[in-house]
Amino acid sequence: MALWSSVASSPIQLVKRESSPITWDAYSIKIDGERVFWRAGEMAPWRLPSPALWKDVFEKMKSNGYNVAQMYFHWGYHSWSNQTVDFNGIRDIDELMRMANETGIYVSARPGPYINAETTSGGLAEWTRTLKGAARTDAADYTAAWKPYIEGVAKILAKWQYPNGPVIAVQIENEFGDTTTAARNYMALLEKAYTDNGIYVPNFHNAASDYASPWISGKGATDMIGYDFYPIGWGPCPANPTVWTQPYSKPFAEIVKYRQDVPLWIPELGAGAFDT
């Protein structure tokens, strides 16, 4: 049974961002004022191009104790040419959200444009290689390239935001450590694209654990910030288990130093990887 009202059967509840039912403080996110402990697993729909199987994944996640499905969306998968942005069939994000809603699992959306995810070009559309402007900057041609995709995703996610659906957060970019003005402008442009297209749930950024994220404060800073943690690393298995017990204090100290208003959390906890 769905936890949220069906978008198809009830009118969209328009919510101003400052009135969002999703809030947070230094301890947790809160949904309708109730604290929620975020227990997330990853689901990559572009790695499972069979919509008939999506709901099964959500059901298995929920039955194993997860309450959030984090989802990367792949720009190159939806936009294989500069004339195309496709959200149909195996690329149907609307259907994906409907299934998550029916299952009763929250969604943390991660559209990129860059996602890494050990995929070609980190998910950037391959045709952007021909652009003169640098990727992941405020270059005019790069901005014009990602806008149709990001705005398209935002419009779909907007109607599935809680309380109308399962979406409770949207990630801005991915493990992005650039501190230049062009990078800060780029992050601000991404955030504006989401809010201009109806996104009111909190946004966040996931920083790699080996640098102080510039998105804790200043232009382009996100609502929430977390650090990814891969204790096993990328070496040959079996990895050294002692790293699991090492304190993860340095990245969190960076957050506490500048932001006392956000919870300490790990958006990505690496429990394994392909054998290198």
Buried b (16+ CB within 10 A) or exposed e, 141-166: ebbebbeebbebbbebbbbbbbebbb
Q: What is the pLDDT along the chain (276 residues), one digit of tens a residue?
A: 334 433 333 344 445 577 799 999 999 999 999 999 999 999 999 999 999 999 999 999 999 999 999 999 999 999 999 999 999 999 999 999 999 999 999 999 999 999 999 999 999 999 999 999 999 999 999 999 999 999 999 999 999 999 999 999 999 999 999 999 999 999 999 999 999 999 999 999 999 876 778 899 999 999 999 999 887 766 655 556 666 656 567 778 888 888 889 998 899 988 766 665
Residue 249 lies in a domain: yes
Residue 142 lies in a domain: yes
Residue 3 lies in a domain: no
Q: What is the model's pLDDT at position 242?
A: 65
- From the candidates 95, 173, 175, 191, give the one annotated as an active-site residue: 175
Residue 274 lies in a domain: no
Q: Specify whether the CB–CB gap between 26 and 35 falls below 8 A.
A: no
Residue 9 lies in a domain: no
Contacts of 103 (CB under 8 A, 6+ apart): 2, 55, 58, 59, 62
Residue 113 lies in a domain: yes
Residue 267 lies in a domain: no
- From the candidates 95, 173, 191, 268, give the one annotated as an active-site residue: 268
Q: What is the model's pLDDT at position 13?
A: 45
Range of the domain at 107: 17-258
Residue 4 lies in a domain: no
Q: What is the model's pLDDT at position 257?
A: 86
User: Which CATH number belongs to the domain containing residue 49 in this structure?
Assistant: 3.20.20.80
* Number of domains comprising the chain: 1
Q: What is the model's pLDDT at position 23?
A: 95
95 is catalytic: no
